[in-house]
Amino acid sequence: MKQIQNLMNYRPSVKVVDATLRDGGLVNEFRFSDEFVDALYKTNLAAGVDYMEFGYKADKNMFDVNAFGKWKFCNDDDIRAVVGENDTPLKIAVMADAGRCNYKQDIINRADSPIDLIRVATYIHQMPTAIDMIEDAKKKGYEVSCNIMAVSTAQESDVKTALEMLGKSPVDCVYIVDSYGSLYPEQIQRLAAFYKTYTEQYGKILGIHAHNNQQLAFANTIEAVADDVDWLDATYGGMGRGAGNCAMELLLGFLKNPKYDVFPVLKFIEKYTAQAKAEGAVWGYDVQYMITGLLNQHPRTAIAFTKEKRGDYSNFYSETVNHE
């Protein structure tokens, strides 16, 4: 039987990463009010969250700065306006997508930046770009993590190669990413054991980023904790693309480290998460997301179904199976 004594005690190496602005930004084009962002930063501090991800360092040649809020681009000055010198235990993160980030130019030296952690996100076929990004960020002085996205559709042999490449790279943390919300806890257990053979050998941290397509984002995250995964992504109210993410309030309710406090999170969501919903942002579990999760597909069709306010789940199922 799995070692479960950690349900009563805690592992100090576990860290919580708030991805609200980044994954949540995908459902409102990153149009968060300054008040929202300021309150989120203060709440993360009060709740004992370890990392706050502000958004993407997206390539401004590729994406129109007028079509998105500022957290799609995460200028260092915009972050600085929120966190000042950030003389706090809360570390600041941004995501840099392989193939969608002008990293050599847009990521400056850590010494001159409020950012602490660069989170490189990559599909498996882009690994050489990701490795270059990791090396670049590391050379500039950052902590660096890497998300291998859509692992549920990747070949095991390719994942092995990717993990070998990451093992030999200077990356600090490798993420298990359930992009399609298709994985069950037992698969998380298998993946964690598989990833661990590499991360242990090379001295890397393991992380998890889950999606809630089958109401398993929280379950998969706490399964991962029991499998020695240390960095845990969550978002306030589960705010994130499609079915959303592991909810911060559920995760902090579960974790036993006394440094975490769920109460400020409740204060935030009753005001600001509710506000985001009132302003029209839509996310969270619904049957269309279960369907794409079940079929291990990208949620884009389910997101379109949601946008069109459709409720004909059975037609959607037929359409989705038909496109397999």
Instruction: By CB under 8 A, name the binding residues for a copy of itself.
Output: 1-2, 4, 7, 184-187, 189-190, 193, 212, 214-219, 222-223, 226, 247, 249-250, 253-254, 262-263, 266-267, 269-270, 274, 285, 287, 290-291, 294, 311-314, 317
- List the Cα angle 179/183/185 in 5-degree steps: 130
Quote the least distance from Cβ 258 to a copy of itself, whole Å. 15
Closer Cβ to a copy of itself, 154 or 226, answer by number: 226
Closer Cβ to a copy of itself, 44 or 122, answer by number: 44
Report phi then psi at 239, rounded to 5. -55, 120
Closer Cβ to a copy of itself, 7 or 108, answer by number: 7
Looking at residue 273, the DSSP 8-state letter turns out to be I
- Are 162 and 148 in contact, with CB atoms under 8 Å apart? yes
Quote the least distance from Cβ 2 to a copy of itself, whole Å. 7
Place of tokens 């998300």: 147
Place of tokens 């479960």: 4
Quote the least distance from Cβ 262 to a copy of itself, whole Å. 8
Q: Partners of 138 in the beta sheet?
A: none
Closer Cβ to a copy of itself, 29 or 270, answer by number: 270
Closer Cβ to a copy of itself, 55 or 240, answer by number: 240
Quote the least distance from Cβ 253 to a copy of itself, whole Å. 5
Closer Cβ to a copy of itself, 138 or 267, answer by number: 267
Q: Which of 12, 43, 53, 37 is nearest to 261 (CA)?
A: 43
> What sign for the dihedral angle of Cα 157, 163, 167, 170?
positive
248, HSE (Cβ side, Cα atoms, 13 Å): 34
> What sign for the dihedral angle of Cα 8, 225, 256, 246?
negative
Quote the least distance from Cβ 112 to a copy of itself, whole Å. 38
Closer Cβ to a copy of itself, 17 or 269, answer by number: 269
- Are 323 and 291 in contact, with CB atoms under 8 Å apart? no
> What sign for the dihedral angle of Cα 182, 211, 15, 80?
positive
Quote the least distance from Cβ 94 to a copy of itself, whole Å. 28
Quote the least distance from Cβ 234 to a copy of itself, whole Å. 12
Tally of CB atoms within 10 A around 79: 23
